[in-house]
Every structure is written in structure tokens, then in C-alpha cells.
Amino acid sequence: MDRLLRRGWLALSGWAALACTALPGPDLLRLAVTAAFLVVCPGLALVRLVHPFTLRRGLPLDTLERAVLSVALSLALTALVAEAFYLARAFTVARATAALAVLTTLLVLVAAVLDRERMRRPGPRPAEPPGEKAAPDGRLRRVAGLGSAGLLALTTACGGSSAMPIGLSAPRSTASVDLSVPTAPGPWKKVFEDDFLGSRLDRADWATCYDWNDDGCTNAGNHELEWYLPSQVKVADGEAQLVAERRRTVGSDGKVYPWTSGMITTGRDSWDAPPRHTFTYGYFAAALRVPDEDTMFPAFWLLPEARKVPPELDVAEFISDARSVQMTVHWAEPDGSDTHQADRYGPVDFPAGFHVFAVDWEPTSLTWYVDGVERFRVTEPQKIPNVPMEILINLAVGYPVPPPADVDTATFKVDWVRVWQRPS
């Protein structure tokens, strides 16, 4: 009975951790339960599966040795599963936890079946060999050896940066820098700034739709589900808030949109109006807090004043994944076709707070920064725009997939937006 209970809690531990990732509650509690499972349980299930075989070979493991090996193997298995999802550009904590919960349950079930088969066989069951316990020095050497083997498995699982495919950035440590000024070397002159300190949007700086605004707008090219309206842009508490809501809205094009949302741009109020602010080259930065819902599409980007696309600069896009940011440049090939180059950085818990996303657009290079650290760089001349561009920040819905039925609202927060250029 005792053995059955031990197997039961081990098999259920992963599902408890998975439930914690989905339930509301303090972030610290969810983190503690999920981390305890990831650090201990998958490896413990594997150790319990193989321990009878080590006994048969006269290699028993004591409690400390099993604990060290369990943690090391858990870390290695967690790294392998996380990297597999990450390389497939499908990583979320919930998915990785679910996969490890399934693996842990299967290991427990296999161990139970093998144990039952061993109990049915005649003859003595495997037991620890008689004799004196290992000397302390020998025991410590075994524990150290097991730990080293586990760490070797972990580093092999992680594989280093060479295991990452082109177009995907591995996280690197963030230096302590002043994010309110350009990270790229100067000199710089600030030419645009909005800290959203008032109670309403400064309409001298911002429009709330694309250039084809007609009592609202949408991006039909992406088959998006939202209709942008000025009422979905709010300014309060020193930030702009772009609010998406599941609310049926009839657009001026006669179509019914299941969502309404907000956007801001330094472009035009309508097709024939002049743009508010355009920029050719410079350092563009914004402090943003993306919504927690993975199925939204918040973005910070630049489009040409001339409305001929490409080129296009995507400073930060979160395409159905709030914990992985995509950085992209679009350009036209000689035949006019649109092509692009992109990179991703993550996973990072971006919804937990504000993060600064920036691009340094120079005549000879494009360099993207996340929280002051370079994450992506392009230097090929044909890929670099050389035309005036407008800033856009928007919260799109329905690209590439619609939100699930239990998601009815999301908010994209903007703390500040700034642009610097080289002094003439």
C-alpha cells in the first residue's frame, strides 16, 4: 500500500503542476509548485524505474545518491523537452509541463508493470548486497560522480548555442544599462517623445487607425478579427492602454467583426491627410507590457510614409506567443516580391512587466535590442530601408489563429515611446 501511494503521488505530481500553470493565483505559488515538479519528479520516476536493475548488478543507490541523480536527470529531461518545443517555435511553460507530466506518468506505469512481473517470478527479490556500508570518502566520490554525470547530461541536452537554428536567438544575460537612452553608441539627439502623462491621447502626435481610416479600420491582409476604434485607446496612470474586447462591431466596410481593439500611429487620420511624424533612420524605442494571452498579436513596427510596402520594420511582434518576441525586416526583391529576414528571442515572461524594445536603423545596418541587449542584426545593404517611415503600435486579434472562447479581453500597455537621430 505504501509503495502504491508513493507511485500515485509521483504520477499525479505533473498534473498538479500543470493545473497550477492554468489556475489564477499568486505567481510565487504557481512558480514553486511547477519548479518543484520540474526539478525532482521526472528524474525520480526514471531512477525508480532503473533502481531494481542496479541492485541486480550489485550497484545499490542510497537515499542521497538517488536524490542527486533524480535532480540531475530531471534538469536534463526538462532541458530536452523545453528545447524541443523551443526549436519548434511552440514553447510555453504549460506545454513543457504537460509533456513532462505525461513522461513521468509513463515511467511510473512502466516501473509498476515491471515490478509486478518481478514479484510473480519465483526466487528471491533483488536486495542490497550484505556487508558494510561504503566508507564516507567512497560514498562522497559516488555522489560527486553521479552529480557530474547528471550535469554532463544537462549540458548535452542544452547543446549550447550551436544547437539553435538560424532565425532563433537563445536568451543571454541582460546587462545593467539605462534603458531610457539609446544603447547604441552616440551621439544622439531626441526628436520624438511621449510618456503618456496626461488623461487623454495627444492627437497632435497620434492617430488611432491606419491611413485607410473610415470610422475605424482593420488589417484585411492578415484576415484579422478586430475593428480598430479610438474608444479602445485609453491614457491613464502614465501609460497608453490598447484594449481588445470581444464585442461584435459593424465596420464601415459593412462586415461584422467579433472583436474591437486599439492602435496608435504617427501616421494619418485619413488617406488624404498628411502624416504626423515620419523618420528616416534613428533609434526607435518603446517600453511595452504585452498581454498575458498567447493568442493576441501585439506589435511595435514601422511602415513607409509612401504606403508602398515593403519595406517594413517590425521592432517587436508577439505572434500567438507572449513570451517570445519576433524581430523582422521586410524588403523588395528586384522583381518587387516581398521577402523578409527574422529572428526570435525568448522565452521570457514579458507579460510580467514592462520591457524596452528598440531598433537602431542606420544607413548600413539594422540592430534590434531587448532591454538594452543586442538580439538581432542585419547588415546587407539591399535589406535596409532608406525611406521615411511612420511608427505603429497596435493590438491585433485573430492572426494567425482566433483566441479561444474563454478569452474575452486583453490590454497592451505602452509606458513611453522615443526616437533619437544622429545630429546633422
- Together in a domain, 357 and 415: yes
Q: Which of 144, 160, 176 is the last residue of a domain?
A: 160
Range 366-375 average pLDDT: 97
Per mean pLDDT, which range of 50-54, 55-59, 156-160, 353-357 is the poorest?
156-160
Range 274-298 average pLDDT: 96
Q: Is position 165 within any domain?
A: no
User: Is 273's pLDDT higher than 70?
Assistant: yes
Quick one: pLDDT band at residue 182, thresholds 50, 70, 90?
very high
In DSSP notation, 298-345 reads EEEEEEETT---S-EEEEEE-SS-TT-EEEEEEEE-TTS-EEEEEEEE
Phi, psi (degrees; rounded to nearest 5) at 358 = -150, 155
Q: Is position 223 within any domain?
A: yes
Q: What is the structure's pLDDT at 259? A: 98
The contacts of residue 184 (CB under 8 Å, 6+ apart) are 283, 360, 367, 369
Q: Is position 176 within any domain?
A: no
Phi, psi (degrees; rounded to nearest 5) at 157 = -65, -45
User: Is 175's pLDDT higher than 70?
Assistant: no
- Together in a domain, 229 and 339: yes
Query: pLDDT digits over 77-113, tens only?
Result: 888 887 776 555 455 677 788 898 899 888 878 877 7
Q: Is position 379 within any domain?
A: yes
Question: Virtual CA dihedral for 101, 104, 350, 393, nearest 10 degrees?
Answer: -50
User: Using an 8 Å Cβ cutoff, are 37 and 63 in contact?
Assistant: no
- Together in a domain, 284 and 351: yes
Q: Which domain holds residue 358?
A: 189-421
Phi-psi region of 92 (alpha: psi -120 to 50; beta: other; left: phi over 0): beta
Range 387-415 average pLDDT: 96
- Together in a domain, 381 and 292: yes
Which residues lie across from 376 on neighbouring strands?
Answer: 368
Phi, psi (degrees; rounded to nearest 5) at 241 = -125, 120
- Together in a domain, 154 and 270: no
User: Is 285's pLDDT higher than 70?
Assistant: yes
- Together in a domain, 152 and 89: yes
- Together in a domain, 34 and 139: yes
- Together in a domain, 154 and 194: no
Model pTM?
0.63
Per mean pLDDT, which range of 121-130, 185-194, 238-247, 284-293 is the poorest?
121-130
User: Is 291's pLDDT higher than 70?
Assistant: yes
Kindly list the distances between the CA atom of residue 201 and the CA atoms of 239, 355, 419, in Å, as whole numbers in the listed order.
Answer: 10, 21, 18
Residue 403, domain CATH: 2.60.120.200
Going by their DSSP bridges, the two strands 226-228 and 256-261 should be labelled as: parallel
Characterize 349-380 residue by residue with b for buried, 16 or more Cβ atoms within 10 angstroms of its Cβ, and e for exposed: ebbeebbbbbbbbeeeebbbbbbbeebbebee
Could you tell me what percent of the chain has a pLDDT over 90?
Answer: 56
Range 190-194 average pLDDT: 98
- Regarding predicted confidence, which is higher, 13 or 421? 421
Query: pLDDT digits over 125-167, tens only?
Result: 544 444 444 445 555 455 455 555 555 554 444 444 333 333 4
Closest CA to 411 of 228, 321, 289: 289
Q: Is position 410 within any domain?
A: yes
| 10, three cell numbers | 509521483
- Together in a domain, 203 and 139: no
Quick one: pLDDT band at residue 1, thresholds 50, 70, 90?
low
- Regarding predicted confidence, which is higher, 160 or 210? 210
* 229 vs 260: CA distance, rounded Å: 7
- Together in a domain, 279 and 411: yes
Q: How many alpha carbons lie under 13 Å from residue 398 in its C-beta half-sphere?
A: 18
The contacts of residue 421 (CB under 8 Å, 6+ apart) are 188, 189, 191, 279, 281, 282, 283
Query: pLDDT digits over 24-37, tens only?
Result: 444 566 677 788 88
Q: Which of 160, 181, 206 is the last residue of a domain?
A: 160
User: Using an 8 Å Cβ cutoff, are 355 and 286 in contact?
Assistant: no
Q: Which of 160, 177, 198 is the last residue of a domain?
A: 160
- Together in a domain, 336 and 411: yes
- Together in a domain, 95 and 215: no
User: Is 286's pLDDT higher than 80?
Assistant: yes
* 75 vs 154: CA distance, rounded Å: 6
User: Is 388's pLDDT higher than 50?
Assistant: yes
* 80 vs 96: CA distance, rounded Å: 10
Q: Is position 29 within any domain?
A: yes
User: Is 46's pLDDT higher than 90?
Assistant: no
Q: Is position 153 within any domain?
A: yes
Query: pLDDT digits over 303-314, tens only?
Result: 999 989 999 999
* Average pLDDT in the chain: 84
Tally the domains of the chain.
2
Q: What is the structure's pLDDT at 208? A: 98
Q: Is position 175 within any domain?
A: no
